[in-house]
Structures are given as C-alpha cells and as structure tokens.
Amino acid sequence: MNTFTPADFDFTFLEEGFCARDMVEQRINELSMSDDRDAFYVADLGDVLKKHLRWVRAMPRVTPFYAVKCNDSRAVVMTLASLGTGFDCASKTEIQLVQSLGVDPSRIIYANPCKQMSQIKYASAHGVQMMTFDSEVELVKVARCHENSKPAGCSWSAHGSLGLDIIGVSFHVGSGCTDPETYTQAISDARCVFDMGLGYNMTLLDIGGGFPGSDDTKLKFEEITAVINPALDKYFPADSGVRVIAEPGRYYVCSAYTLAVNIIAKKVVMKEQSASDDEDDGANDRTLIAVHPAPTCSWVNGCSSTTWGPTLSPASSTFNGFQKPDIHYVMSRSNAFQQISAQGLPAPVEEACPSGMPSCCGRESSLELPAKPCPARVL
C-alpha cells in the first residue's frame, strides 16, 4: 500500500454532514459573484473509496486492476494506489503516471494487445512484466523487445521457441454488457484454454472490465458478481492456484463526478410537430451531401493529436479549442484519509447526503473488510 499526505492528494475534506452536492452549490455561488461562469466538475474521492469497499465485499477473490485509460486523474490514481489496487495501463504515459506515485511494477499489467515496440522496451526497462497479447505476431514482438515479459494470452506453439512465460488467460466481455451469463461463458471458455495448455504453468485469470459504474443501469453490479462468483468457484476454485484479477474502469469513477454547466442558450420546440423521425429524407430528395477531404497522412510517419482522448469517442474530445472543465476534488469523510494512510480501510458509517449526488464513502453499513486491502501482486 502507498502512503500519501493530504498535501499530495490536493483535495478538500468535507465536514461531517456535508457531501459533494454542498461543494457544487458553494462553487456555483462563488462563480455567480464573478465573470467566470465556466463549467466545472466536483469529484468525490470518497465515492471512489466506497466503490472499493463494495468491490471487496462482492468479489473478495478478484483483485481489481484499475483501467487508467478510463480516467487518468492523478487524484483518482493516487486514491486507488493508497487502497492497494493494481493498475491496467495501455500506454507508456499511463505507466509513467502510475509509477510516479510509487506503485510497484508487479501491480501493473500492460493490457494493450497491440503495442508499440518502443513502449514495450520502456515497460521492460521499468520492470513491468505482465502484458496481454491476442496474436502470434504480437507475441513475437514482445519476445524481441522485452527481456523478462510474462504475457497473458493463449498462443502455445510460439511459446517454446520464444522463451516467454505465458502466465494465464484474459478476456473482456465489453462495456455495457447486459447479460451476466456472458461472464459465465467466458470463464468456462477460459477453463478450456487452461486445459489446452498442458505443460504450461498458468496461474492468472483476467476477467476484464465492463462493470457498471452507477445503479441506474439495467444490469446492477451485484447481479453480475452473483454470476461471476459461482462460475469462478466451479471452474477456478480457490485451491486451484489461479489468481483472478479484473480491469474495472468506469465502475470506480462514473458516479464520483458531478458536472455543473452554465446554460448559455435555449430553444423553444413545439410539442406537436407534423414531421416524423421515421421519414426517409432521401425519398424526398432532401439529402444534403457534403464531402470534406481529409489528410491521408500517407506522406508522414504519424500525426500527433490529443483531440479525441483515449477512446476516440466524441464524449472525450475537445471542441473548438474550449478547455476541459476544472475539477475540484473532495473527500466526503474527514477521517477517511487518515485511515487510508494508516493502512486500514475506514469502517462504514451511515451518513446523510441528498439523493441523486455522489454518495459518501461510508454509506454501506454492512461492509466488513479485512485489516488490509486485497494484495494485487501477480507474478
């Protein structure tokens, strides 16, 4: 577990009886007295802590490796490092961030099945040994660029000649999965792959991500874990010697962030409209055809850009040069930080907080945790 001071975290402790919504309202009042009306976030790190408590209770056998690409906020990564989680890194930059906080390389998995050779070499030089692959080409690349890699994958024929240590199997059901039985099938398939690898000492199962980050989704977190746990007990029992990890991303941060925006325009739309969304505009020759030529990049080796973020989703892009909103970090319980620093998790306490906002980290009074967080080392 990493130990940090309040100065390292750079967040505001909320007094007892206050929650993230109070900070949002306070900040709005402050901005209303000035010309600064830009959007801002309030991020409740106490909610991140609460999610970790919930995870440990729901899946005690599964060690979370936080997917840094989901939200690479230093404060979020630092909070999870303090809780002893591992980290799923997809790039050199993410590895640098995590290691700058003192996280041991054994708590990092380089989970990118298509890696640059230069970044594989960087991972090798900085002690990161676990990584994923999904093709023989990638496996050869890892063998050429990494001195002591331990890939998690499923290619057997290339293993012997390359001198690599294949340690397990990884899968990802996809974000937004609405059928929990998908996990059962994937775990069953992983068992088949383990059985196919006779002669290989595989000790790691990575069940990926896709876990919901809020309770307003069709499929609840506990509904998923209620399927995963029996499947693990059936195909990878506790005495099998197989370590199980996962790569949650949005699960940890989705409900922790509250965005406040300034409404700058309104549009009046009549309730009754004659047009139908189902009509085919092309049938009436009303299709607007516009061709916007774009560079092919055939004359350069690459184009450097951060416009689209790690997911290539418009939701994570910048727009016309507007800056990203400021983020104000809070911890919704004043004693949580001290208990983290003391290498123990805070005892759950029922606290009042208006509904619909990031809830306090000690909301679930029924949680019982071990004295220390689940270890995240997999060799």
Reported as a single tens digit per residue, the pLDDT across 210-255 is: 899 888 888 899 999 999 999 999 999 999 999 999 999 999 999 9
Task: Quote the percentage of the chain above a pLDDT of 70.
Answer: 65
Instruction: pLDDT band for 362, please (50, 70, 90 cuts).
Output: very low
Instruction: pLDDT band for 317, please (50, 70, 90 cuts).
Output: low
pLDDT at 370: 34
Task: Report whether CATH 1.10.1740.10 matches the domain 45-253.
Answer: no
Which backbone phi and psi does 193 adopt, to 5 degrees? -65, -40
Q: What is the pTM of this model?
A: 0.74
**Encoded amino acid at 287, one letter:** T
Lowest mean pLDDT among 4-13, 159-168, 196-205, 361-370: 361-370
Res 345 pLDDT > 80: no
Res 286 pLDDT > 70: no
Averaged pLDDT, 345-357: 40
**Whole-angstrom Cα distance, residue 285 to residue 97?**
53
Res 293 pLDDT > 70: no
Q: Cite the active site residues.
A: 69, 172, 247
pLDDT at 218: 83
Instruction: pLDDT band for 366, please (50, 70, 90 cuts).
Output: very low
Host H or E run for residue 293: none
Res 361 pLDDT > 60: no
The residue ranking higher by pLDDT, 89 or 264, is 89
Averaged pLDDT, 277-281: 57
pLDDT at 157: 43
The residue ranking higher by pLDDT, 110 or 330, is 110
pLDDT at 138: 86
pLDDT at 155: 41
First to last CA, the chain: 17
3-class secondary structure, 66: strand
Res 205 pLDDT > 50: yes
Extract the tokens encoding 318.
Answer: 């910048």
* Cβ(356)–Cβ(19) below 8 Å: no
125-138 burial code (b ≥16 CB/10 A, e <16): eeebbbbbbeeeeb
pLDDT at 74: 92
**Whole-angstrom Cα distance, residue 86 to residue 159?**
26
* Cβ(16)–Cβ(334) below 8 Å: yes
Instruction: pLDDT band for 113, please (50, 70, 90 cuts).
Output: confident
pLDDT at 346: 44
pLDDT at 338: 55
Q: Where do the domains of the chain lie?
A: 45-253
pLDDT at 375: 29
Res 369 pLDDT > 50: no
Orientation of helix 74-82 relative to helix 92-100, angle to 10°:
60
* Cβ(252)–Cβ(44) below 8 Å: no
The residue ranking higher by pLDDT, 61 or 20, is 61
Give me the chain's average pLDDT, please. Answer: 76
**Whole-angstrom Cα distance, residue 157 to residue 317?**
41
**Whole-angstrom Cα distance, residue 204 to residue 183?**
16
**Whole-angstrom Cα distance, residue 139 to residue 369?**
39
**Whole-angstrom Cα distance, residue 257 to residue 329?**
9
* Cβ(89)–Cβ(68) below 8 Å: yes
Which backbone phi and psi does 355 adopt, to 5 degrees? -70, 155
Res 327 pLDDT > 90: no
pLDDT at 379: 27
3-class secondary structure, 129: coil
pLDDT at 217: 83
